[in-house]
Every structure is written in C-alpha cells, then in structure tokens.
Amino acid sequence: MGQKRRRGGPPTPAGPSNRSPGHPRCRQRGAPQGDPPASPPNARAPGIPGPRVRSSPRRPKARRGPPSGVLPAPRLAGRWRPLSSPLRGWGPGQAGPPRRPHYLRAGARGGGRWGKFVSVVGCAARRGWSGRAAPLRSQGSGEASGRPGSALLPVSGRGERVHRRSPSRRERYLRSPASMGHRGERASCLPLLLLLLLLGFCRGRVVRVPKGPLIRVVGTEVVIPCSVSDYDGPSEQNFDWEFSRETDFLRIVSTWDSTFTSEEYQKRVGHGDIKLRRSSNDAVELVIRNIQPTDQGRYKCSTPSTDATVQGNYDAEVQVKVISDGLTVSGSKARSSMSLRLSEGDSFKLRCSAITTSPEHTHLHVTWQIKSGSTWRDILSLTHEGKFQPGPGYEERYRNGDIRLDTGANDTYRLSVSQASSVDGGAYRCLVSEWVRGADSSWQKIQEKSVEIASVAIQRTALDVVISTSNVSVTERDSLDLTCNITTDRSGIFQAEVIWYFSASPDDTLSDAQVLLSMDHDSVVSDSTLISLSHVDRNSYRLLVRDVDVEDSGYYFCQAAVWVPLHNGSWHKVVERTSAPVSVMVTALEPDYEVFLNASKTPKFSDDPTELDCRIINSQDTEANIRFTVSWYYRQRLHSDDVVTEELLATMDADWTLLPGDRSRERTQNGEIIFFKKAVDTFSLRIQWTSENDRGDYFCVISAWSRHRNNTWVKSKDMTSAPVSISWATQDYTLTVEAVKLKPFFVAGHTFEMTCKVSSKNIKTPRYSVLITAEKPLTDQSNPNGTTRIISLNQDSVVRLEDWTDQTRVDGVVLEKVQENEFRYRMYQTQISDAGLYRCVVTAWSPGGGGMWREAVNGLSNPIQIDFQTSGPVFNVSVHSDNPTIYQGELADLLCIVTTEGMALDSDDMSFDVSWFAVRSFALDREPVWLASLDRKGIVTQSRRNGSSDLSLERISPLEFRLRVHGCEDHDFGNHYCVVTPWVRSATGVWQREPDIKAKPIFLSVKMDVLNAFKYPLLIGIGLATVIGLLSCLIGYCTSRWCCKKEVQETRRERRRLMSMEMD
C-alpha cells in the first residue's frame, strides 16, 4: 500500500509523504511535531553540497548501512536483524498510515543480503541506529531529532551522516570510563529486547481450511469449512471461495459480493446446489450438493483485509478428490424384507450384506437400528475402527450376551437377539457408512446407505393365576388348605415358578406382604416346618398350613411366573402374574371361666392393713397351653356424678412379670403395697398401711393367654370382676394445746418457765413434736421478721436448738417431756432482750407404713408474754463525719456516738457491740453490706473487703467508736450506718443485753482528683517524647554523615570543534 517493490531487494518509498516532518505516525507515537523524521543515510538534502569529511583524530570508522529508502535498524553482532514495531488501532478510513514492510541487513559489512520485516513508519523507527547510539537527522533540516541547534557529524566514508548535537555535561560524563560499565549492561540487554519485540509482534491474520486431500463420493454432499482468526476490524468477516482444476481459479461464491460468482457456477449457485452457510462471525462452510467428478480440484478460501497492516495469510487452499460410488448394501437373498411373528422370550437372527469397491482405502461402519415410532434407534454397531458399540438402553443386554453382532462370509453382518420382549418389536434396518482417514489422521464419513431387513412382531405370553377357594374360615389349631391354578397359552418347553404371600390387608403391595413359601422353576421349595407347598399337577400348586392360630387370619396371594430356556442353558422369565387375594378367618378357642373378688381384710382405722383376693372360678377346658394373669385397678368414689377414670395399680404380662402403675410404683418399691399369688387360681393385693388416699373401689381383670405354634403367648380373653369398696368410719382429727406460765412475775436475771399440755381426738396412738417460738418486738434488730424459732423436740424425743444464736447461753434454754401429753420449757438468766410472746407449736403424728410416722394435725398454743419492768437508761446512736465528701486516696473518718438519757450509769457497768454497714446506692434500696464489728470485749472482726478499701475500727472513748476507710475509691461511696447493742450490768452483777439500736445513715461521697490522676501519665509522656526526638536527630545526623556520602569524580572535558554550517 503506497509502496513500490523491487525483486530481490527492499521496497522503495512511493513518495515523500513518509519523510514529512509532520507525519501523523510521529504524532501518534508521541514524538515532538517539530522534530523531522530520520532520512536514509545515503540521501542528500536539496541545496546542500556533497559530503566533506573533516580530518579528525576521533573520526569514527565508516559503517555500511542499509540501501536507500530503507529505515535503519539496530545492528547486533555485525548483522542487521528484522525489527517490527506494530501500531494497532488504524483501520479503513482512520487517520494514520498502515504498516509497511522494511528491510534490514542480515549479512556482514559489505556482503550481506536484505531481509523483509514489518514495522511501523513512525517515531520509534526514525530514531533508529547507525552502527552506534547516535540520534538521526532528516534531509534538509538544520535541527537534530531530539534538540534544535545540533550540528551534522560525518559517520562513514560513503557519505552516510547522522545528526548529532553538541554533547552536554551529562553526555561527557557518560562517555567517561566511569560510565562504560553501565553502557555495557545496556548493550547486553538489546538482543533480548529485540527478541521479545519480534515474538510479540510476529502475529497476524490466519485463514484455515481442512488439510487435504478431501476424498468424497460422487453424488454426495460436500461441506468444506473455512475460518479466520487473529484479525483486526469488525467481528464479522467476509469470505470468497474460488475453484481451480489446474492453474486458473474460477470464482464460486462470496459472502459480501453478489456479483462475485463466475458464469460457470451462477446456475448451480442460483439453484442452491452450491451455497455458503455461516457458522459464526469468523467461519463459513461451502456446501456442494451432488458433487460430480468435474468438481475435483483445488478450492481456495479468501478473506478481504480489514487489518491496519498486511500481516499473516489471507487465503488457504484445500484439494478435493471425487471418487466413484462403490458401496453396496443388501438384505437377505430370499427377499428384500421379511416379517417375523415371535413369542415373548424367543430368539431371532437378522442378516445384511455390505461391500465396497472404492479405489481408496476406506472402512465400513455397520449399525443395526430399530424403528420406534417415527425415529430409528441404534441397537448395536461395528464401528469403522473395529469396535462394538451398543446403543442407548442396550448396554446391559449387550454385556449379558442377549444381543450380538457377528460377521460371516461374503461380507455379511448378523444380528442375534435373545429373550425377545415387547420392546424388540418393530422394523429393523442395516445402516452402513463408509469412512476414510484424512490427511490430519482424523476419520471422515464420505457416504452412508441403509436397507430395511425385517419387521418383527412380539406376541405376549398369556398367563392366568387363580386360587380355587374364595373365602375360608377355619378354627384355631386346624389346617388351612389352598390351591393355586395357573393357565398359559405357552407351548414348548417352559417351567413355572410359584410364590405364596400373606398380608394383613388386601390393599398391601407385594413388597409389604410376607413370603410364606416359594417354588422356583427348578421345583426347589423353600424350607418351613408348619407350612408345605406341593406340585399337584402341571398347573396346580397346593399350600398347606398346619396348626393355624388367630395370627394366621388375613389375605393370601399366589404369584406365578413362566420361565423359558435360553441358548446358553440359562432361564429367562417371560411373564409374571398375581392372583386375587383370598380372605382367611381363623376362629379362636376361648377358655370359659369367671372372676370373683373379695376383701379378706378391711381397715377399721387409718393405717390398718387391707387385703383383696381375685379368684378364677368355673374354669373349663383349661389346657396346658392356657395361662392366666391379673391386672389390678383403682377407682376413686365421688359423691357427685362426675366420671372418674380408672387408675392402673399393677399388671402381669404373659411371663408373670409384675409391671406397677404410676399410682402405686413408689409404694410398691417401698413395700407398702404387695402383689402376690396365693394359689393357682387366686391373685392377692395387700396394702400394709391404708391411708385416706386409699379410699375407693378396687377391681381385678383376669386375662387368658394362648400358646402359639412359635411358642409365643397371645391374649385371647379378658374377664373383669365386680368392684369392692374400701372405706371406714372416721372423724376429723382434733388437737388442743394449752400454754401455762408457772411464775406470774419476775425480773431480769431470773428463770422463765412455762408448760404445754396437749390433748387429741380421733388419732390412733399419736405422738407429738413441740417447737417453742418467740415473737420479739419490731424494734428488735436481731430478727426483723418478728418470730424466732428457739428450740424443738420431735416425736422421737430428740431436742434441737433452732435459731438460738447466743453462744454465751447455749445451755440457757431447756425443753423436756414431762408426760406423754405435757412438755416444759425453761430459760435461765433471762435478759431484757428476751422480752416477747412465747408459744408452743405442736404436731401430732400417727404410725405409718414401714415404721415411719405420718403427720396427722398441727396445733398452736396461747401466747405467754415476758415483759420486764426496768427504770434503766435510754440509749441513742448517731453517726457523724467532719468531711463526708472526700477525694480518691484520702482517709475517711466516721464516728458512731452513743448517748444516754435517764439514769446515769458508770462506764464500767455498760458495754456495747458495734457493727458498721454500708448501702452502695444513693437511696436505701439495696441490701446492706457488713463492713466490720467490735464486740463488748474489744475484739474487731472485718469482712472480706466486699468491694471496700482497707478498714480500721476502734473505740476512742466509752461512748464513741470510729471507723476509718483508708485510700478511698469510687466503690466506697454510699450510705454508712452503725448498729449498737448495749449491755448493762445489773445490781446482781449479771450482764443484760438491751435491744439493738440502729443509727441514721450518713452518705459518703468520693470524688476524683483530676490533677493527681493525670500528673504521672503527663510526665511519662513528655519524657518519652523527648527521648524519641533526641534519638531521631541522632540517627538522622549519623545517616547523613556516614551513610549518604557521595564522591563525584570530575572527568576531563573533551575538546571538540564544531563543524561550521558551510562545511555541511
């Protein structure tokens, strides 16, 4: 395109447009528009005299470059190598020149030959090489390609010139010995770079057709595909097809030009005998119908170019060879098509003959097919590669040998089918195709023929299966006799197979039914003890079941199948049928007996024993295989009409295993209820201690069990007795308790004594347990609920202290049993804190089962009051703090101050127990937390911190107690108060405990000291920042001082004189 070619040499540029300084390719590659393109070395600019070479000691040696009009390329190892610089993106109608071929020298200096290469006429090519790294200049230009103001330096003695500007300081440094190492490295990378460029850009359009020759048969259809790849332009490509017998090509058809077809092919193309069929955007197929010997020759597929440059191949040829039709396919010699009528399970054989006289080395592919509806299905094939291939659905039959394909004399192919079924009926044909191996070693089918061989009809085998008896009713332990009759239209050799089934429902499938007995086609009967199967005659099979029982009631089926022998000696089942179900009812032999229930022992009082006997009477015909069991039931009696369900007490299974019910399971395990068998016909129930919950009706159920032939027991009958009522005359329990104070008046320090007398009615042999309680005033802080359990005595006369916590008076309370119904309580050295109401709580117990005691009724006595008349002092308690608001870490002081009113006492006659509590909330809505306590003996007790800081508790005066919280934290806030228990010494020298006194709480607030909280973190942060800054400065100084020091070596400047413009 735009070039003139010379034979044996490189192309010559067609015009000066490619050397224009404003060439669009230069602008496309990003070169400065002011830079002129490089000119051939031998060209001379107009208006400039011939070359004159200045004598200079540094003149370079003359180098031989490429011929005129050819762009220079890098010279590697004394040879010129092809260089490709593709530029994609230009298509038809777009700006920019296309690619054009260039020539590079491939030989040594003065004796090389020129080779063609593809490159882009652009800036990259124009900034080429002339034997050394030097920028080029174009003709008639006074500017260098990279920089204006450059001078021309001669390079070779043949008039070749390259444009070189004055060397800069950097270039002089690069030419110095210090830079020679870097230049050597760049020079060694150039061959690798050029090789990568060639590998990346040596790709272009590829047109492909099948490898020839293509061998086809006269009269068949020929399809020749053609595809193109690695192209530019639109995705849908056009194709032209041409044909040649010898040298000249005739145009056949085109995808884009309707006038492309030659006159010789216009008629065949117009009739559709020759057409193009597009398979994709980049592929078509040439279709020739009814190919003739005149169509033998070369076919060429061409693609018009849509590429930016001419690269690759644009056409491809394939040779087509037309041979004569030598394939002959025929059926049986007797007649072309025959009809066969066969029975199900028979075998048949079909034959066809196939022979070819083709001049080429071809292979035959034989396939037997059957017509199913309107389509043909493959049965079995002998491929052109000599392999047998069964069709879909025939794989299993082929592996079993039921379908075979054999070859015989005279090129015959025989299909053998065994065990014919209904699916084998239809039309059969023999399909033969001829194959030849192509030039690419692939197999190609060149023609195909078929012939119908036979029409086969498969007749189904009729089979009728009937059981002679419709409905049967037998008695238990009798025999059941059933006969299965089969009828078939099958002739010849066959055997029948019979299977008897049993099912509980007539609708059950055979998979859910139970197999009783079976007889296979070899007359082998499965083993069974009580069931037998016999072959009465050719068509009758008898089933005999001995000693039937109730479980044999149900439905019986008979299934029969017909088997025929095969050629290999095996048997094949051709038909199978199942008879209608026959209903069999087995009547059970029920034993005749009655049941009687009576109470041998009835309770008169609660906890008396109860015994019931359930007897079997009037039993007849009870054999050894009959067994009786019993079940006991309870029903509560109600006065209303409400229905009460029965509750199972216990039952026995066929093995006489006792299974207690939910109502009696626990009492049965404890031995309170006993089930036993007195005699062979008597079952008994005994309740050791009858309670109120045992009132009601009792009845028993006697079950009869029959032994079956498999030694299992089956329940055959249930008989229920009449109910027996268990009750006794009772009255409500009555318990009366009276408390009496023996001394009407006493003072603190004396002994308090009272008695409790108990009386009961309607309780059998009762025993009593006594509990002494005290109801303290609400002002007593020791028991906020008001009632205190002091001491108890149980029904076995065991004494126990309940809530008595005064360790100094452990022996100060006594409870003893005076008589069976009288108890006495004593409290020694009474104190003022013992004031309150005292009662006796009595519980009556009656004997229960197993030596246990059962609670009958509870009673409460009248109260006895203890009141002390004193004129002693009145104590008051308050909490005080000089600074209730403190900061974290400070010390908190809390004072508990006790004041007295009334009679003055000596400090030695009074003492105090002090306890401190805290509520961790603003409101008193949480449980108090005990902090510490100080008893009257001066012993301090502290809690396990409980969320508090370290504490100290001390007595600073007889009436002042101080609590200190050291190092307060946030969790130490809250309401704090103290509880004081005064102790006063009486005139007799006895210490009396006064009621507890609670002080009004004071709120302790803890604040945070911001300055102290952030003082140490700020100091640490400032110190770390200072250290890191100094370390960074030290590292930077050391790095700049020793690590980054660079010595610049000045090189000696070269003195060169520039060539004057006149010299150029």
pLDDT in tens, 389-432: 999 999 998 998 889 999 988 889 999 998 888 888 899 999 99
pLDDT band, residue 539 (cuts 50/70/90): confident
Q: What is the mean pLDDT of residues 680-699?
A: 89
The pLDDT score that the predictor gives to residue 870 is 60
pLDDT band, residue 520 (cuts 50/70/90): confident
Q: What is the mean pLDDT of residues 740-753?
A: 77
The pLDDT score that the predictor gives to residue 401 is 87
Half-sphere exposure of 958 (CA within 13 A, CB side): 11
Statement: residue 968 has pLDDT above 80: yes
SS3 89: coil
The pLDDT score that the predictor gives to residue 2 is 40
Statement: residue 180 has pLDDT above 70: no
Statement: residue 948 has pLDDT above 70: no
Instruction: Give residues with Cβ within 8 angstroms of 489, minimum separation 6.
Output: 461, 462
Structure token pair of residue 168: 């800069």
Q: What is the biggest distance separating any 2 CA atoms in the chain, rounded to whole angstroms?
A: 161
- Percent of residues, the chain, with pLDDT higher than 90: 31
Assign residue 348 a region (left: φ > 0; alpha: ψ between -120 and 50; beta: otherwise): beta
The pLDDT score that the predictor gives to residue 619 is 78
- Chain center to CA of 74: 63
Statement: residue 57 has pLDDT above 70: no
336-340, 364-368, 996-1000: range with lowest mean pLDDT: 336-340
For 688-715, give the secondary structure using H, E and C: CCCCHHHCEEEEEEEEEEEECCCCCEEE
User: Could you tell me which residue, 594 or 6, shows the higher pLDDT?
Assistant: 594
The pLDDT score that the predictor gives to residue 878 is 92
Q: What is the mean pLDDT of residues 965-978?
A: 87
318-322, 454-458, 587-591, 658-662: range with lowest mean pLDDT: 587-591
The pLDDT score that the predictor gives to residue 121 is 32
User: Could you tell me which residue, 1013 or 8, shows the higher pLDDT?
Assistant: 1013
Q: What is the mean pLDDT of residues 941-965?
A: 82
Statement: residue 957 has pLDDT above 80: yes
What's the pLDDT tens digit per position in 781-791?
555 556 889 99
pLDDT band, residue 856 (cuts 50/70/90): confident
Residue 341, Cβ density class (10 Å: 0-12 exposed, 13-18 middle, ≥19 buried): exposed
Asked if 321 contacts 214 with a C-beta cutoff of 8 angstroms, the reply is: yes
Structure token pair of residue 210: 């099948």
Nearest to 422 by CA among 385, 457, 465, 471: 457
Q: What is the mean pLDDT of residues 922-944?
A: 86
The pLDDT score that the predictor gives to residue 367 is 96
Q: What phi and psi, each to the nearest 5 degrees, are found at residue 614?
A: -115, 115
Q: What phi and psi, each to the nearest 5 degrees, are found at residue 853?
A: -105, 140
The pLDDT score that the predictor gives to residue 434 is 93
Q: What is the mean pLDDT of residues 512-538?
A: 83
The pLDDT score that the predictor gives to residue 526 is 78
32-36, 320-324, 838-842: range with lowest mean pLDDT: 32-36
When the pLDDT of each residue in the chain is averaged and rounded to a whole number, the result is 77
d(CA 631, CA 659): 9
The pLDDT score that the predictor gives to residue 46 is 40
Instruction: Give residues with Cβ within 8 angstroms of 719, minimum separation 6.
Output: 593, 594, 595, 701, 702, 703, 704
Q: Which stretch of DSSP H or E encloses residue 396? A: helix 395-400
- Percent of residues, the chain, with pLDDT higher than 70: 74
What's the pLDDT tens digit per position in 860-874?
999 988 876 666 688
Q: What is the mean pLDDT of residues 917-934?
A: 87
The pLDDT score that the predictor gives to residue 138 is 34
Half-sphere exposure of 1039 (CA within 13 A, CB side): 6
Where are the strands (E) in 357-440, listed by range? 363-372, 375-382, 388-390, 403-408, 412-417, 426-437
The pLDDT score that the predictor gives to residue 1010 is 67
Statement: residue 110 has pLDDT above 60: no
Q: What is the mean pLDDT of residues 528-539?
A: 83
Instruction: Give residues with Cβ within 8 angstroms of 488, minimum separation 6.
Output: 461, 462, 463, 464, 494, 562, 575
Q: What is the mean pLDDT of residues 177-181?
A: 42
Instruction: Give residues with Cβ within 8 angstroms of 639, minimum separation 6.
Output: none
Q: What is the mean pLDDT of residues 906-913?
A: 87
d(CA 432, CA 352): 10
What's the pLDDT tens digit per position in 701-722?
999 888 776 778 888 889 999 9
Residue 144, Cβ density class (10 Å: 0-12 exposed, 13-18 middle, ≥19 buried): buried
What's the pLDDT tens digit per position in 620-651?
655 667 889 999 999 987 766 666 788 999 99
What's the pLDDT tens digit per position in 144-175?
333 333 333 333 333 333 334 444 444 444 34
The pLDDT score that the predictor gives to residue 831 is 79
The pLDDT score that the predictor gives to residue 242 is 94
